[in-house]
Amino acid sequence: MSAKVRRPRSIGKLGPTLVGLLALNIFLAAVMVVLRFSEIGLLQRLARGELVSADEAARSDNRVAAFAITSFVVLTITGIVWLVWQY
């Protein structure tokens, strides 16, 4: 019996896709840094005794949470694409 020979599949589009996803991860990380600094500023205002509304604090928390979830999803997709690319 002869074994079937597997031909390698073309990964022509996978490389640029992976590079794009990695660039998107870098962009999202930079945005997250800006959001965290904004949140730190909000907390510093609160520590100084300045008035911070509950709505303002909730909006800040929601922004950070939304970006964290988005970053996690993009990172997961990037990891899957990277594993396929490596295989």
The pLDDT score that the predictor gives to residue 10 is 67
Tell me phi and psi for residue 51, to 5 degrees.
-80, 125
- Domain boundaries, given as residue ranges, for the chain: 33-86
Which of the residues in the chain have pLDDT under 70?
1-3, 8-11
**Mean pLDDT score of the chain:** 90
The pLDDT score that the predictor gives to residue 13 is 83
Can you give the chain as a three-state secondary structure string?
Answer: CCCCCCCCCCCCCHHHHHHHHHHHHHHHHHHHHHHHHHHHHHHHHHHCCCCCCHHHHHHHHHHHHHHHHHHHHHHHHHHHHHHHHHC
What does pTM read for this prediction?
Answer: 0.76
